[in-house]
Amino acid sequence: MKVLIVEDDPLHRSYLHEAVNAALPECDTVIEAENGTVGEKLARDHKSAHIVMDLQMANRNGIEAARTIWKERPETRILFWSNYSDEAYVRGVSRIVPDGAAYGYVLKSASDERLKLALRSIFIESQCVIDREVRGLQQKSLGQTNGFTDSEYEILVDIALGLTDRAIAKRRGLSLRSVQNRLQQLYDKLDVYQSAGDDHEDGRFNLRARAVTVAFLRKLLNYSALERAEAELQEWLDGK
Amino acid sequence: MKVLIVEDDPLHRSYLHEAVNAALPECDTVIEAENGTVGEKLARDHKSAHIVMDLQMANRNGIEAARTIWKERPETRILFWSNYSDEAYVRGVSRIVPDGAAYGYVLKSASDERLKLALRSIFIESQCVIDREVRGLQQKSLGQTNGFTDSEYEILVDIALGLTDRAIAKRRGLSLRSVQNRLQQLYDKLDVYQSAGDDHEDGRFNLRARAVTVAFLRKLLNYSALERAEAELQEWLDGK
DNA sequence: CAACAAATTGCGGGTTTACGCAAGACGGCG
DNA sequence: CGCCGTCTTGCGTAAACCCGCAATTTGTTG
């Protein structure tokens, strides 16, 4: 059995290495990659079916790497080991996991025990292991209660990218007015009004920009999500 | 001699601990804090004049902690040890360092040697040590060449927060038109036009929102900067 | 002090946003 | 099939935004 570790940080990498050795005596080879790009390549070369990966990496982040890896071999088992449980990450991950694939999401703050348990559950028992905290977000995010629908999230991303209403309409195949409707819906949910027109016509916000900021502060968006969205946008622009 | 370590990540913390022991035999006590809040408290209690600190911490980030520490004791020597050299961080740090204070900025990717050297230079020799890469940003940022003026940066932050032109004018004591002038200046420098009105009146951007995104992608802004700016904004709003 | 560049402000107008109102369109469900 | 809620669309308006033009103010330099 082979395990591939994809992780930026040398200290974390060697910690993972030890954890894998300790948790999986049946594992005879451990390979290391220091960023997403190398990770993809090694996964391909070694046809390794067992991967532990960080999400936030400078060169190519975990979500992108996982996507291409899963595209090539959907049965690959991946354990995401991340510092953060931003909704943006959680949403990003659940968007790309193939049907029926075994995967995991464990926070770096988890104990050694938890990590080792997760390693065994996923790689040996093929079970999904999602950190409690992450799980909470996931439900809130996918279920409609208090969370954001896909269409709301979509518009959020579009205005975050800086598209005009018209451009969004064109991109998503909607009328101008529909786009604006969804925007209002978004503004509602993000509570952009609250602090806004409070009393005087004094300290009012620009709703569009404010929405993006609020989403950022709430971790609904983060750098990595923006980066991916920007790449998709460029693709779309090129494709006409 | 006492050294205080302020760092989120347990692995990095113990690595730092060892590095301090190795580089500074004259250091007899090492104290550890796992976030900015605790860091401030320990710095106060121990009157420790030598601090190694991470910038990105969940609870209270390094810049905020450093600011209050330096406010209380400006002669404190602080070595920032960070993963990133985002312009937002560099700018944030140089904004708060007291006149003549000895401080350092070393990237986590630096070698053990570099870290140890920096520790000795700052804590023993009272010399500033700024990582080469960071230094580059600093010059570009402070010198006007290709970089952003303070006023440009200020407006950038203001629109990122989601303020309207009018609100910005009020906050900064400017006329509406001046605010808009600065905005145009900002749009220019950020190259927001380039990808914008390219050819058809087709895929146009909302300049205001686009500017923020571009700034984010260029690391001119980051989460921590936004967070700080938002706090300042709230303060201002309360203060009327 | 004169001279000149940079920043501030006002005016005016073309666009884009935000959003109420109301008429379809689509999708279950009894 | 008819009822009803959600989504989409069009029309219209007030406000906000982007920005060219031009008069001032401010700051700097010889």
Does the beta carbon of A238 lie under 8 angstroms from any beta carbon of chain B?
A: no
User: Which token pair is B126?
Assistant: 């009272």
Report how far residue A24's alpha carbon sits from residue A119's, in angstroms, rounded to the nearest whole number.
Answer: 8
The pLDDT value recorded for residue B193 is 85
Residue with CA nearest C1' of nucleotide C11: B177
Give the number of other Cβ atoms within 10 Å of residue A5's Cβ.
26
Q: What nucleotides of chain C have any atom within 7 angstroms of a protein Cβ?
A: 7-12, 16-20
Which residue, among B102, B124, B105, has the nearest Cα to B24 in the 3D structure?
B124
CA–CA separation, B213 and A230 (whole Å) = 9
CB A220 within 8 A of CB A87: yes
Question: Residues 95-114, chain B: which have Cβ within 8 Å of A?
Answer: 108
Q: Which of A169, A190, A191 is nearest to A178 (CA)?
A: A169
Task: Indicate the burial class of A71 (C-beta count within 10 angstroms; 0-12, 13-18, 19 or more).
Answer: exposed
- Token pair, residue B157, equals 């932050």
A134: its two tokens: 């992450």
First to last CA, chain A: 46
pLDDT digits (tens, 9 = 90+) for B49-75: 899 999 999 989 999 999 999 999 999
Give the pLDDT of residue A147. Answer: 75
What distance in Å separates the CA atoms of residue B204 and residue B196, rounded to the nearest whole number?
A: 5
pLDDT of residue A202: 55
Give the nucleotide with minimal C1' distance to the Cα of A192.
C18
Q: Domains of chain B (ranges plus CATH)?
A: 2-142 (3.40.50.2300), 150-238 (1.10.10)
B139: exposed, middle or buried (C-beta count within 10 Å: 0-12, 13-18, 19+)? exposed
- The answer to whether A177 and A168 are in contact (CB under 8 A) is no
Distance of alpha carbon A209 from alpha carbon B230, whole angstroms: 13
pLDDT confidence of residue B144: 55
Strand D: list positions under 7 Å from protein Cβ.
7-12, 16-20
Amino acid code (one letter) for A54: D
Q: How confident is the model at residue B136 (pLDDT cuts 50, 70, 90)?
A: confident
Average pLDDT over residues B22-36: 95
Give the CA A151 to C1' C29 distance in Å: 25
- Residue A41's alpha-carbon distances to A4, A186, B30, B184, in angstroms, are 11, 40, 42, 44
State whether the beta carbon of A233 lies below 7 angstroms from any atom of strand D.
no
Q: What is the pLDDT of residues A57-110, one digit of tens each?
A: 998 999 999 999 999 999 999 999 999 999 999 999 988 999 889 999 999 999
- What is the per-residue pLDDT across B179-222, written as a single tens digit (0 to 9) for each? 999 999 999 999 988 665 444 445 689 999 999 999 999 999 99
Write down the pLDDT at residue B229: 96
Q: pLDDT tens digits for chain A (240 residues)?
A: 899 999 999 999 999 999 999 999 999 999 999 999 999 999 999 988 899 999 999 989 999 999 999 999 999 999 999 999 999 999 999 889 998 899 999 999 999 999 999 999 999 999 999 999 898 887 776 655 567 888 999 999 999 999 999 999 999 999 999 999 999 999 999 988 866 444 444 558 999 999 999 999 999 999 999 999 999 999 998 875
Q: Is residue A21 helix, strand or coil?
A: helix
Task: Count Cβ atoms within 10 A of the Cβ of residue A209 and give its class: 0-12 exposed, 13-18 middle, 19 or more buried.
Answer: buried
Cβ within 7 A of any strand C atom: A 164-166, 177, 180, 183-184, 187, 193, 206-208; B 149, 151, 174-178, 181-182, 201, 204, 206
Amino acid at A2: K
In a mutational test of the A interface, the residue from B85, B206, B235 whose CB has the highest number of chain A CBs within 10 Å is B206
Residue in chain A lying closest to B84 (CA): A58
Q: Measured CA to C1', what is the nucleotide nearest B183? A: D18
Q: Output the pLDDT for position A143.
A: 59
Judge whether A40 and A67 are in contact, CB under 8 Å: no
Q: What pLDDT, on a 0 to 100 scale, did the predictor assign at position A102? A: 92
CA distance B125 to B104: 12
* pLDDT tens string B107-132: 999 999 999 999 999 999 999 999 99
Q: Does B9 touch chain A (CB under 8 A)?
A: yes
Does B209 contact A212 at a Cβ distance shorter than 8 Å?
Answer: yes
Contact predicate B8/B38, CB 8 Å: no
In what helix (H) or strand (E) does residue A32 lie, and over which residues does it extend? strand A29-33
Residue in A18, A15, A19, A12 with CA at minimum distance from that of residue A35:
A12
> Which of A82, B46, B23, A146 shows the shortest CA–CA distance to B32?
B46
pLDDT attached to residue B197: 43
Structure token pair of residue A82: 């991340």
B13 vs B228: CA distance, rounded Å: 25
Place of tokens 């009327």: B240
